Amino acid sequence: MINPFKEALPIIIKIEEAGYEAYFVGGAVRDHLLNKQIHDIDIASSATPEEIKSIFPHTIDVGIAHGTVMVIWDQHTYEITTFRTESTYRDYRRPEQVYFVRELKEDLKRRDFTINAMAMDKNGHVIDYFNGKESLEKKEIKTVGNPNERFQEDALRIMRGIRFVSTLGFHLETETLNGIRNNRQLLSKIAVERITAEFEKLLHGPWCLEALEIMVETKMYQILPMLSSEEKGISKFAKLPLTKLELLEKWAVLLLCLGRKEKHQIELFLRAWKLSVKQIKTIQKLIYWMLQREQMTNWSNQALYFATLSVAVSVEKMYQLLKNNEVNIDIVHLEERYEKLPIKSMEELKIGGNDLLSWTEKKPGPWIKDVLSLVERNVVEEKLSNDKQLIKEWLKQCHQI
Instruction: Enumerate the known binding-site residues.
Output: 27, 30, 40, 42, 111, 154, 157, 160, 163
Distance, first Cα to last Cα, the chain: 76
- Binding site members for Mg(2+): 40, 42
Q: Which residues contact 41 (CB under 8 A, 6 or more apart)?
A: 4, 5, 8, 24, 28, 78
Tell me how crowded residue 123 is: count the other CB atoms within 10 A of its CB.
8
Show binding-site residues for ATP. Answer: 27, 30, 111, 154, 157, 160, 163
For residues 227 and 210, give the distance between their C-alpha atoms in angstroms, rounded to a whole number.
Answer: 18
Annotated binding site for CTP: 27, 30, 111, 154, 157, 160, 163
Could you give the CA distance from residue 133 to residue 390 in angstroms, rounded to a whole number? 74
Question: Which residue intervals of 328-387 are DSSP H helices?
Answer: 331-339, 353-359, 366-380
Residue 332: C-alpha distances to residues 151, 156, 157, 188 (Å):
48, 42, 43, 45
For 230-235, the CB contacts below 8 A with 24+ separation are 230/258, 233/257, 233/258, 233/259, 234/258
SS3 assignment, position 45: strand
Dihedral sign computed on CA atoms, order 284, 289, 293, 298: negative
d(CA 352, CA 368): 9
